Structure 1
Amino acid sequence: MKKILFLLIGVSFLSFIDHKYYIALTEIEHNKESESVQMIMNVFVDDIEDAINKDYDADLQLNTKLEAKNTDQLFFKYLNEHFKILINNKAYSYNFIGKEYDGDIVYFYLEIDNIIEVKSIEVKNDVLTQHFPDQQNLIKSKINGERKSLFLTKKNDKGLLKF
């Protein structure tokens, strides 16, 4: 009886341990007025910090007074290597507009200029999957008033949206 009681107490304590979810969201929208594709990507601060620190032998110390001065350059370098986008079957480079911290999330603001019309978007996104195999990258788009989404993982890191 004592063993069963101990087992039940042990299992109930385990239920209070935080389960870590690995998910990032990227929102893509075509702004007809500015003729640009605007993207907002959000990821967990600690996850992106771990990945960049390991990949580039850095010590970012994100969202602290000791944050590395080259943080934005490392963010942009990392994103360029792990987040690729084709619009209408043509590869584009995006501008890194900036970042913003909100609690344990960092938002990246990205933009591609001179996009008059969007018929298709192909995304390759393996952000964080090298270090976190359970990472999931959700892509949500709003193009010409139409909403579509992709769910990307380490095994399936590329998808196509047609409008």
Structure 2
Amino acid sequence: MTSRFFIDDLEDVLSARADENIILTEDGSLAKHKHLIGDYFTSRLRIKVDGDLIPIDYLGSEIDNDQLVLYIEIPVDREPLEIEMRFTALMELFEDQKNMVHLKIRGERKTLLMVAKKKIDSVKF
């Protein structure tokens, strides 16, 4: 899974969590704060595949212009029939935050949309 967030928004959230000023564009900052970024996203993302909770693994991130691209591994051993996701990143900062996830399985594309009033969404394939 890849996910994109504006750097300044993510810096605000991480700074509040760490109680220090986090600047992700400084040299070495992504490596220095990898654990903090990973902890934040693994606490904000929950995925069930065919009813089973799947542990996620934050692999790392990179800067692309004004966005941070995050790489998250979701290990599954078969093509899922149903995916349920709770993804609340940045919702504590922006009440109108929308987290959209596009999935493509067996050539079929579906979209999950999580918002403050509906933090969990699911799709069936």
Indicate the SS of the match to 2:10.
Answer: helix
Distance in 2 between residues matched to 1:116 and 1:128, nearest whole Å: 31
SS in 2 for 1:113: coil
- CA spacing shift, 1:66–1:56, aligned 2, 3 Å: same
Distance 1:48 1:140 in 2: 21
Q: Distance in 2 between matches of 1:69 and 1:94?
A: 19
**Structure 2 residue 108 is matched with structure 1 residue 159:** no
- 8 A contact 2:13–2:90 mirrored in 1: yes
Structure 2, unaligned stretches of length 5 or more?
A: none
- Higher Cα Rg: structure 1 or 2? 1
Partner of 1:138: 100
What root-mean-square deviation, in Å, do the aligned CA atoms of Structure 1 and Structure 2 show? 1.5
Question: Which residue of structure 2 lines up, in the alignment, with residue 110 of structure 1?
Answer: 72
- TM-score, normalised to structure 2, is 0.92
Amino acid at match of 2:24: L
In the alignment of these two chains, the number of paired residues is 125
Distance 2:20 2:80 in 1: 37
Residues 30-73 of structure 1, C-alpha deviation per residue, up to 9 Å, x if partnerless?
A: xxxxxxxxx11111111111011102213321111372753110
Q: Which residue of 1 aligns with 2:46?
A: 84
Residue correspondence of structure 1 range 2-13 to structure 2 within 5 A: none
Query: Partners in 1 of 2:77 and 2:11 — Cα distance?
Result: 32
Q: Distance in 1 between matches of 2:4 and 2:16?
A: 20
- Mapping 1:63-78, distance limit 5 Å: 63-65=25-27, 67=29, 70-78=32-40
Residues 63, 49 of structure 1: alpha-carbon distance in 2 compared, 3 angstrom cutoff: same
1:119 aligns with 2:81: yes
Note if 1:51 corresponds to 2:13. Answer: yes
Q: Give secondary structure in 1 for the equivalent of 2:29.
A: coil
Match of 1:106, SS state, is strand
Distance 2:42 2:59 in 1: 13
SS in 2 for 1:108: strand
TM-score by length of 1: 0.72
8 Å contact from structure 1 (residues 49, 62) kept in 2? yes
Residues 124, 63 of structure 1: alpha-carbon distance in 2 compared, 3 angstrom cutoff = same
